Chains A and B, each alone.
Chain A
Amino acid sequence: MADLILFFGSNADTMIATKTLKDAGITAKMIPKPASVNAASNLCLTIDGGVESEAKTALSGAGIALGGIVK
């Protein structure tokens, strides 16, 4: 499945989200924010499209606000 880009409100949130997803067994790669994405932070996460729902669950469980998803 195609990759998804997750973006957050700040770079700190992006870092915490990386650790949260890693602890939840979801592989996430940190990448620079694409020019097409309009977000406050400079970093984004890219994950496999098949684990979107698990990623959302893990992030909401950790109380991390997801800024948006670009498919």
Chain B
Amino acid sequence: MKLSLRTRLLGTIVCAIVFCFLVSVVASRIVLERDLTQLGKTGVTNGAGAFSGYWDSRKDQIRLLVAQDAVSDTLRKALQARNVAALTDQLSSVERTSGLSFLTVVDSQGNVIARANGPQRGSLGNNPVIERALTGETVSTATLLDPGLLAGEGLAPQAQSDIRGADPKDTTETIDKGLAIVASAPISDQNERTIGAIYGGVLLNHFYDLVDQASGALGGATGILERDALISSTIPQPDGTRTVDQQVGPAADVVKSGDSYVGSDVEGGTQYLVRIDPILDDQQHVIGARWYGTPYASLTGIINNTTYALVLWGVIAAVLALLFGVFVVQVLSENLAQRSQQVRTAAKELGVVIVGSEVSGDHVAMTKAAVERSAKLIDEMAAEGNTSAKLTELKSVNDELHGDVTVIDTLSQEMSNRMKQATSRVEELNEVAASLTKLVTGEAG
């Protein structure tokens, strides 16, 4: 199928516009996605840093509370007097007002003297944090509380839970330890001898103050993991409840390697860009992780909106460019068609001139033949003895006429030869004009 120049030019313009447009949109989207993802990673890294700041702040707050209680005269006197009731009342009062999960006083052997949460006694002498406190050191750290300690404090039900696997096909597991921020400080008598220690902290399993406070200030979602299990979070489920008691896939590697993770994670049916930082105990063992993330939808929303705007304005620009292109092509093709028509008309007129030249050449040849015949007749008359002066003058005029006709005949032949060359040029011109017409209109000229 032969296409006209107009169709081909317009097709080329349309294809070029569409191609450039698609390449621009795809390239913009790729660059935007890469840059925004990088920006998002920087954002979650900063958010995770701030979340870590809240964590450290809470740890310092607990350390301060415990350290203040450790130097309380009332507490020291009650411990020296083994006044369990007074100790319990004071510990309960401090626990309530400070938001601690438990607060316990032990003697110098690590035996429990009083607890804020109840009358259970027992020994915490093997607890490494209390051991350090009894040596005179004030300790503050994250730690895993074992079921025995949790039971003694009445916190076992808060810590115990069934953890769903990251993959729904995975089996559930039960955890009975609790992740807590704890502090312990020595209690000394007036002679600065250690007579016991105070031990308190916040159990973070199903404890939401910290994550709510961090999410409220930082935006995004936060979570705390005991090893790789989410035990507290602000990550919403589709039904609006919190996502807890759930394994987090990428956290297993963080716990194993101790390195932070930045990347994608799906929780509660939502894809997040997250940073997961390890939580270390005082022995630098990884015991859990802090999870901070922002929904990918906030990034994809920007990418989609920008792409949509690019497409919309690109289409508008393409239509305007196309209209301009159609106008230019129309003008060009009309000019070409007009020129082609002019060439054809000129070629046709030149053809008439050529024919006229041939006809006039024939006529000159006939005239020359007539003059030569006339000269022959004059010569015959002279040979028959006609010597009149008029015949002599006639011969002279005829000779001059013969000379002029000979010149005209020669010129005519010269022009005829030139015209033959012109004929071939005219044929070429006609072919060019026909090609131009065909090129422009797509139809035979």
Binding site for B on A (CB under 8 A): 11-12, 15, 30-32, 42-43
Contact = CB atoms under 8 A, between A and B. Distances in A.
Contacts of A15: 411, 414
A12 B407 contact: no
Nearest to A31: B403
B80 interface: no
Contacts of B418: 12
A12 B414 contact: yes
A43 B410 contact: yes
Contacts of A11: 410-411, 414
Nearest to B402: A32
A3 to B, nearest CB: 13
B414 A32 contact: no
Interface residues of B, number: 7
Interface of B: 403, 406-407, 410-411, 414, 418
B403 A32 contact: yes
A69 B403 CA distance: 20
A61 B414 CA distance: 25
B403 A42 contact: no
Contacts of B414: 11-12, 15
Contacts of A12: 414, 418
A43 B411 contact: yes
Contacts of A32: 403, 406-407, 410
B407 A31 contact: yes
B206 to A, nearest CB: 111
Contacts of A42: 410
14 contacts: A11-B410, A11-B411, A11-B414, A12-B414, A15-B414, A30-B407, A30-B411, A31-B407, A32-B406, A32-B407, A32-B410, A42-B410, A43-B410, A43-B411
A22 to B, nearest CB: 15
A32 B403 CA distance: 6
Contacts of A31: 403, 407
B359 to A, nearest CB: 21
A15 B413 CA distance: 13
A30 B411 CA distance: 10
Which A-B residue pairs are the 7 nearest by beta carbons?
Answer: A32-B406, A11-B414, A42-B410, A30-B407, A43-B410, A32-B403, A31-B403
Given A12-B414, A31-B403, 10 more contacts: A11-B411, A11-B414, A15-B411, A15-B414, A30-B407, A30-B411, A31-B407, A32-B410, A43-B410, A43-B411
